[in-house]
Chains A and B, each alone.
Chain A
Amino acid sequence: MFLETKELTKNFGGLAAVFQLEMSVREGEIVGLIGPNGAGKTTVFNLITGFLRPSGGRILFDGKDISGKKPHLIAKMGIGRTFQLAYLFPEFTVFENIVTSFNLYPKSSFWEALFKTPSYRRKELYILEQAKEILYLVGLEGVKNVLGRNLPHGYQKLLTMARALAIKPRILLLDEPIAGMSLEEINYAMSVIEKIRSQGVTILLVEHNMRIMTLCDRVIVINFGNKIAEGSMEEVRQNQEVMKAYFGREDAA
Chain B
Amino acid sequence: MVAGEHAPSGGRNWIKTVAYAGLIILLFLLPLFVDSVYYLHTFIITLIYTIAACSLRTILISGQLSIAHAAFMGLGAYVSSIFARELNWTPWLTIPLGGVSAMVVGVLAGYPLTRVRAIYFSMVSLFVGLAIVALMGVFQKYTGGDIGLIGIPPLPSITIPGLPTINFLSSKIPYYYFFLLLTVFCLMILHSLENSRIGMSWKAIAQSYLVASSVGINEAGFRVLALAVGCFFAGIAGAGYAHYNMVLTRSSFGFLSSVNLLIYVLVGGTGSFFGPIIGTTVLVIVPEIFRWLKTFAPFVFGGIMLLVVFFMPQGIAGLFEQVKTKFLHFQERKKPRDVS
Contact = CB atoms under 8 A, between A and B. Distances in A.
Interface string B158-196: 000000000000000000000000000000010011001
A110 B221 CA distance: 12
Interface in B190-230: 192-193, 196-198, 200-201, 203-204, 207-208, 210-211, 213-219, 225
Given A91-B207, A124-B3, A145-B333, A99 B213 contact: no
Contacts of B333: 93, 145-147
A72 B213 contact: yes
A150 interface: yes
B209 to A, nearest CB: 9
A91 B200 CA distance: 11
A194 B219 CA distance: 32
Contacts, number: 115
A110 B219 CA distance: 16
Interface size class, chain A: 35 or more
A26 interface: no
Contacts of B213: 51, 70-72, 75
Nearest to A99: B3
B267 to A, nearest CB: 20
A136 interface: no
Contacts of B189: 114
Interface stretch (A15-23, A36-44, A101-109): A101-109
Contacts of A103: 197, 201, 215-217
A151 B336 contact: yes
A12 interface: no
A51 B214 CA distance: 9
A237 interface: no
Q: Which of A90, A142, A151 has the most CB of B within 10 A?
A: A142
Interface in B59-102: none
A206 interface: no
Contacts of A143: 336, 339
Q: Which of B197, B204, B218 has the most CB of A within 10 A?
A: B197
Interface string A90-121: 11110110011101100010100111100011
A34 B216 CA distance: 27
A76 interface: yes
Interface stretch (A161-169, A213-221, A242-250): A161-169
A135 interface: no
Interface residues of B, number: 32
A2 interface: no
A216 B203 CA distance: 37
A114 B188 CA distance: 10
B332 A89 contact: no
B336 A92 contact: no
A113 B192 CA distance: 8
B335 interface: yes
Given A99-B200, A113-B193, A124-B2, A146 B336 contact: yes
B196 A116 contact: yes
Interface in A128-177: 128, 142-143, 145-147, 150-152, 155, 163-164, 166-167
Nearest to A75: B216
B215 A96 contact: no
Contact of A89 (B6, B207, B219, B335): B207
B1 interface: yes
Contacts of B225: 110
Contacts of A88: 208, 211
B338 to A, nearest CB: 9
Contacts of A101: 215-216
B200 A124 contact: no
Nearest 8 pairs of A and B residues by beta carbon: A142-B339, A75-B216, A101-B215, A71-B213, A113-B196, A103-B216, A124-B2, A89-B207
